[in-house]
Amino acid sequence: MGARLPMNALSSQVAVNLSGAAETILATLGPISTSLDNQPILLFAYASIGISGGGGTALTLRIRRGPLVTSPSVNLGASQLIAAGQAGSVTLCYVDLIPGSQANLLYTLTGLVTGGVGTSVVNDLSLIAMCM
């Protein structure tokens, strides 16, 4: 018999505005609990964005452990160059190594438009967390 490992996922097509060069919460996923001590969590994220014509040169995505834009970052950030007035996407995959056994972990996907002066819009996103 196999075991079913904990996982959680979300997808959204709700528009999220990214103004200027401020890191913004795109979505929060949770809760997920590890069933073993030191169990790694595999994280996948995707976001599609339209960069405003008034600036913006890249989209950076971060996954944070917690519900806030100031929560600890799981990754350094994944960036994709996207010219102003264009659309693009960023996909990332990371492993979060959690010490001990954890309950009710939340993961937050944040976005930042580098050099943005107008409002850019994330039109589609996905965030998945799977215990390994």
Domain membership flag for residue 37 = yes
Domain count, the chain: 1
What's the whole-model pTM score? 0.87
Residue 122 lies in a domain: yes
Residue 5 lies in a domain: no
- State how far the Cα of 119 lies from the Cα of 36, in Å rounded to an integer: 43
89 belongs to a structural domain: yes
- 118 compared with 34, residue with greater pLDDT: 34
Residue 54's domain is classified under what CATH number? 2.60.120.20
| 103-131: average pLDDT | 84
Model pLDDT, residue 121: 82
Q: What percent of the chain has pLDDT over 70?
A: 89
62 falls within a domain = yes
Can you tell me the mean pLDDT for 58-80? 89
**Structural domain includes residue 10:** no
Residue-level pLDDT at 65: 92
- Contact, 131 vs 98, CB < 8 A? no
Which domain range does residue 32 map to?
A: 17-131
The answer to whether position 12 is within a domain reads no
DSSP labels, 90-124: EEEEEEE--SS---SEEEEEEEEEET--SEEEEEE
Decide if 6 is inside a domain: no
pLDDT, one tens digit per residue, over 15-38 is: 787 776 788 899 999 888 888 888
